[in-house]
Amino acid sequence: MDVFHHSPCTVDGLKKVVGREQDAKTVRELLLHEEHREQMFISMLGESGIGKRTLTMQICKDLMRNFEVFVWYNMPPDSSMEDLLEEVYKRAYKRIHKHNETPQDNGIDIVDKLYGLLTDKSYLVVLGGISSKTILNCVRASLPDNKIGSRVVLILEPECEEVAWHAATLNQEGYESKSIHRLSHLDEDTSGELFRSRVFAEQGKHNKDTKDNKGSKYTKDNKNTKEKTYEEDVFDVTQGHPLGIVVLAGLLRYKEKPVEWDAVLQELRPGMEEAEDGQDNPITGLLLLKENPGEWKTFQQQMTTARETKLSNRMVIERILSASFDDLPQDLKSCFLYLAAYPMNVSLSAGHIVRMWTAEGFIKPRKGRTLEELGHSYLKELVSRCLVELESQNAHGGIKTVTVHSRLVRFLQSEAREASFIEVSDRNDILAPASVRRLSIQDDSGTYTTFSNKFPKLRSFICRVAAGNSQSSDKSDQSKKERREFPCGPRLACVVSSPVTEEVAGGSNLKSHDLKFLCWSKFLRLISVQGLKLQELPDEIGDMIHLRYLRVECPGLKKLPRSIRRLLNLQTLDISKTAVVEIHPHFWKIKTLRHVLAEKLTLPTSLVNELAELQTLHGVVAGEGKWDQGRSPLDKMAKLQSLELHGFNAANHGSALEGALTNMHLLGHLKLEGDGIPSCLFTGPILRCLQTMELDGAAKWPVVRWDIVRKVRPNLVGLKLKNNSQVPKELLDEMEAQKLMLLS
């Protein structure tokens, strides 16, 4: 049973559909068309930043309950067809089987697996990044047309209009043109509505009052001239482009009216960027080819209009982004620029981001607040400024995951490259490795090979390789791929390429990557690698005495070198997606540790040193040894804010565990999985800061009323129970009466 917080979203920046009500109505009708039960492909077509993703997301949130399976996936530019189908299969499987892990590959073709999984189920699949008719044909072949109203929504850029028209031909006759929905710029009224909804953090409805920074009342029906002028100026600056409106609103939210607003809008007003562009006009030379003044005039008007449109599309957003970026405080500017290390259309964990910012030294200490608290406030400000998009929240209303709009990612990468802040690449052919300070490798194509370069000045190494795509470098591209054919239509065949693993029976002869090239980078502060075929870390990693952050998400990694105990400045160790179960006991003597995240890492039976900075301890196992009360490892971690412990039992760990929990006054999240869950969790005058609990195991539930639980746990907002059969019925009923969501 899950009991989770149900309160609405409270963080500024969560997207609302403003000014797109008619678009939303049209798309909803297509999705729920009762008379069209056949499979339908619907294309959302429009330029970057026009609001395709926002509109689609809001509609899907409203309608996903009408479908048995809902899947959303953005295909990275260089990923393979098989990667796309595998991701759709994994996400659909988790929806159907309640988030359980997908089964191991048993040799069945991915098309057959996906087709069979969705047979007899109504599904809504939203796909971004489909760039060719060939890919679309393969998608169609893998999704059954089960005649129960299934829908596939494609989010497409203008350059992929051909894909939209091809998708239309796959639909039932008579729906070809209806299935393509084009989004255009907003008109002046809807632009004003969207602007108000963001700059005043309101819904922008005509009948709602809002207030400016000075507290003066402002309504739609009774605007003063100045407010109307602001909306007109915003429309002139943005030309009704939704992303431009949103980012400009985020900028003005941090400015005082009227002086600073006027200054910003004056600077961005159309024509300012062309004031110095009065020479070398390319139109002049072309006019010489025209035969009479009439042709001259007509041609000049056409070229001027085309030039202005092109300039508008290219420059409007960039100028607004530049103004918003330049307005950031220096610390926040570094944090925002750091997001250039990641590709478009990926979810970013708030926890990971903040821990990396901390390791980089971007967050300056402030009395009374931890670095992590400051980091989360930085992230919240970026969301409030509409530079980062809030994707999901945790149970207590904090930011859980965010995304960065593709247009903003391109802007950030350009700024980062110009400032030599970070080198971002999808390959390992770095032009000047000797001067690189931060390096981000983002590979979705399966072409990653281990570096042979030396990076003597490298401070940060971030590498993300799509799961299953990392390859060995000792064979040609052709030998790394296997090719399969399957039908994609009446007369079509689709060829799918995927990497061949260099693994023989029994797991021997496995080709893997290594990080030995980093041994020459003595100034490294941060290492974050995901998806590589790593079996071990180099022993020389212990010589990286400046290392503060080590994250390895590589399932093949089974052990850590003994030298890891020498990383005396380490703040974060994240091995949560590895097979590591043991670590050198002296590792726990590192006094700077703030976050340790693992899968099944065994704790020692006791610790000598106090870990006064440790805030997060996830994925640890109690082990077989007996814990002595007052001397258990948890007794040295009194400042923990998040604990996830497995494998304990009442005989060896019960008393010591209960005693240690008594001293954890800052604990906000607790996950326990074992035999003998302490009964004090619901009765003792402890853990008053606790917000979420996940419990899996036998427990002696006290007979206690909910009002007593609420008194001793005033901040509890989320509860997940693996088995509720032992919970007293009265308490369970009272939990339900609190309007908490119960999930079995």
CATH of the domain at 359: 1.10.10.10
pLDDT score, position 442: 87
Of 248, 260, 245, nearest in space to 213 by CA: 260
pLDDT score, position 465: 86
Look at residue 502 and tell me if it is in a domain.
no
My answer on whether 162 and 15 are in the same domain is yes
pLDDT score, position 238: 94
Question: Is pLDDT at 209 greater than 50 in this prediction?
Answer: no
Look at residue 109 and tell me if it is in a domain.
yes
My answer on whether 355 and 305 are in the same domain is no
Domains: count for the chain: 4
Tell me the mean pLDDT in the region 240-266: 94
My answer on whether 313 and 395 are in the same domain is no
My answer on whether 146 and 216 are in the same domain is no
Q: What secondary structure letter does DSSP report for 13?
A: T
- Farthest CA pair distance, the chain: 100
Tell me the mean pLDDT in the region 458-481: 60
The last residue of one of the domains, among 320, 345, 377, is 320
My answer on whether 303 and 430 are in the same domain is no
What domain range is 426 assigned to? 330-447
Look at residue 479 and tell me if it is in a domain.
no
pLDDT score, position 708: 80
Angle between helices 242-252 and 293-326 in degrees, nearest 10: 40
Comparing 265-279, 493-507, 729-743, which segment has the lowest mean pLDDT? 493-507
Task: Count the alpha carbons within 13 Å of 575 in the hemisphere toward its beta carbon.
Answer: 23
My answer on whether 285 and 353 are in the same domain is no
Tens digit of each residue's pLDDT (9 = 90 or more) over 46-72 = 999 999 999 999 999 999 999 999 999
Grade residue 377 by pLDDT with cuts at 50, 70 and 90.
very high
Q: Are strands 399-403 and 549-553 parallel, antiparallel or unpaired?
A: unpaired
The last residue of one of the domains, among 182, 213, 231, is 182
Look at residue 654 and tell me if it is in a domain.
yes
Residue 619 in contact with residue 640, Cβ under 8 Å?
A: no
Look at residue 732 and tell me if it is in a domain.
yes
End-to-end CA distance of the chain: give it in Å, rounded: 4
> pLDDT over 70 for what percent of the chain?
79
Look at residue 337 and tell me if it is in a domain.
yes
Tell me the mean pLDDT in the region 491-504: 36
Higher pLDDT, 53 or 314: 53
Tens digit of each residue's pLDDT (9 = 90 or more) over 510-535 = 467 888 889 999 999 999 999 888 89
Tens digit of each residue's pLDDT (9 = 90 or more) over 475-496 = 333 333 333 333 444 333 333 3
My answer on whether 295 and 363 are in the same domain is no
Q: 124: which strand partners?
A: 70, 151
Of 549, 531, 532, nearest in space to 461 by CA: 549
My answer on whether 218 and 342 are in the same domain is no
The last residue of one of the domains, among 266, 293, 320, is 320
Tell me the mean pLDDT in the region 443-465: 81
Tens digit of each residue's pLDDT (9 = 90 or more) over 403-447 = 999 999 999 999 999 999 999 987 766 778 888 999 999 887 666
Q: DSSP readout, 269-289?
A: STTGGGTT--SS-HHHHHHTT
Question: Is pLDDT at 508 greater than 50 in this prediction?
Answer: no
CATH number at residue 704: 3.80.10.10
My answer on whether 24 and 138 are in the same domain is yes
My answer on whether 569 and 712 are in the same domain is yes
Question: Is pLDDT at 215 greater than 80 in this prediction?
Answer: no
Question: Is pLDDT at 10 greater than 70 in this prediction?
Answer: no
Higher pLDDT, 478 or 640: 640
Tell me the mean pLDDT in the region 74-98: 89
Tens digit of each residue's pLDDT (9 = 90 or more) over 549-600 = 999 999 999 999 999 999 999 999 999 999 999 999 999 999 999 999 999 9
CATH number at residue 93: 3.40.50.300
Place of tokens 């019925």: 729
pLDDT score, position 226: 82
Look at residue 355 and tell me if it is in a domain.
yes
Of 239, 210, 399, nearest in space to 316 by CA: 239
On average, the pLDDT of the chain sits at 82
My answer on whether 365 and 265 are in the same domain is no
Look at residue 526 and tell me if it is in a domain.
no
My answer on whether 55 and 153 are in the same domain is yes
